[in-house]
Amino acid sequence: MLKRDKEVSYRIPSGCAVSGIMNEKGVSFSGETIISSIETMHDRSNGLGGGFAAYGIYPDYKDHYAFHLMYDNTSAVKKTEDHLEELFYVEHSESIPYRTNTVIQDHPILRRYFLKVKDSKDSNHLKHEHLSDDDFVFRTVMRINEHFDGAFVFSSGKNMGVFKGVGYPEDIGRFFRLEDYDAYIWTSHGRFPTNSAGWWGGAHPFSLLSWSVVHNGEISSYGINKRYLENFGYKCTLFTDTEVIAYLIDLFGRKQNLEFETIASILAAPFWSDIEHMDDEKKKYYTALRAIYGSALLNGPFSIIVGFEDGMFGLNDRIKLRPLVAGKKDDFLYIASEECAIRDACPSLDKVWYPRGGEIVMGRLCNGKN
């Protein structure tokens, strides 16, 4: 069920659908809106993966890390829960609610935990004093996903959660009862796998801490991106190219605290031929970025939507080989693969536009973090 196939003997044309909706004042709205939006692009998926990320859904535990886990069996549950109790104060744990009378039938064990990092004096696995809580959680997620057979952490942020699996996205949304959740940011994905198998852990979004990524396309630079990330302690264990995007954004956005415009210029860097025709100041800047971060450049076609604690952004590859459209209405920002997905959520827009390749579409909460 959580089998991670290392080799795939088939190749099928690329599709995939992405959609994201954000209220920039932090006003929450029902998950039914994003389910309906992604459903309009049903034909871009093939039923091998769908998922959602939602921000602001756990106000009663907003200061806790919300771990969502998938398990193959009860022995994996016991081993992983014992490990979590050694490292964290477990405020609450439960099965993730889901419907049983849907087309989604064959699924792993699904549980969630609301955690705080233990003080060193209370833990048998002493927390290194130089580690922040975020870095401690990062290392814990890497360890479980790499070494705990039959267990997979697929969400680990605060006041947010990822819900994903094998199926069409609208079916996954209803399976997880997402209409019962209210969030100020929703992102979603309908999958059409190309070079990797359709399995529950390989569905999008990919998430680490409060970052989440949905992606349409194919990252041909996966190998060099993966090796680059391993220098910083990231373990790519999920056999899906999108995983490297989530980790690169965590590395640059959290660990290195780079501006999002700079991150966009690293992931979708201008061609050398374009840099050559820039003025001296820009030429120096982009030459330095390419020299320092060349191994983080994403080659291949992509359009992505990234969610985080206080915002959302969209980005295309530098020559726009995958579609991406954006729209605005009052305090709402919409980003999707197709305009129909935005019009479904908001028929009358103040503005709609198609971003250029490498051009970031940015939305931030008006008052910072929610």
109-117: strand order across its sheet: 88-95, 109-117, 65-71, 151-155
Quick one: pLDDT band at residue 6, thresholds 50, 70, 90? very low
User: Given this model, what pLDDT does residue 236 score?
Assistant: 92
- Report the percent of the chain where pLDDT is more than 90: 84
CA–CA distance, 145 with 199 (Å, rounded to integer): 15
CA–CA distance, 282 with 288 (Å, rounded to integer): 10
Find tokens 């093939």 and name the residue. 46
Instruction: Verify whether residue 16 is a known catalytic residue.
Output: yes
User: Percentage helix, strand, coil, to 5, in the chain?
Assistant: 30, 25, 40
Cβ–Cβ < 8 Å for 8, 195 = yes
Summary mean pLDDT of the chain: 92
φ, ψ at 122 (rounded to 5°) = -100, 0
Q: For residue 353, what are its two tokens? A: 């536009």
Whole-model pTM: value is 0.93
Quick one: pLDDT band at residue 123, thresholds 50, 70, 90? low
Quick one: pLDDT band at residue 15, thresholds 50, 70, 90? confident
User: Given this model, what pLDDT does residue 5 score?
Assistant: 47
- Average pLDDT of 224-234? 97
Quick one: pLDDT band at residue 370, thresholds 50, 70, 90? very low
Out of 16, 236, 346, 366, the active site residue is 16
User: Given this model, what pLDDT does residue 14 score?
Assistant: 52
Res. 9: pLDDT tops 50: no
Please name every residue paired with 16 in a beta bridge, in sequence order, or none if there are none.
none
CATH topology of domain 28-364: Glutamine Phosphoribosylpyrophosphate, subunit 1, domain 1 (3.60.20)
CA–CA distance, 46 with 13 (Å, rounded to integer): 11
Please report, to the nearest 10 degrees, the dihedral formed by the alpha carbons of residues 107, 179, 365, 254 taken in order. -10
User: Given this model, what pLDDT does residue 124 score?
Assistant: 60
User: Strand pairing of 311-316 and 160-165?
Assistant: unpaired
Domain spans, the chain: 28-364
Of 22-36, 151-165, 182-196, least confident by mean pLDDT is 182-196
Beta-carbon contacts of 164 under 8 Å, excluding residues fewer than 6 positions away, are 49, 50, 51, 52, 154, 172, 189, 200, 203, 204, 205
Cβ–Cβ < 8 Å for 318, 290 = no
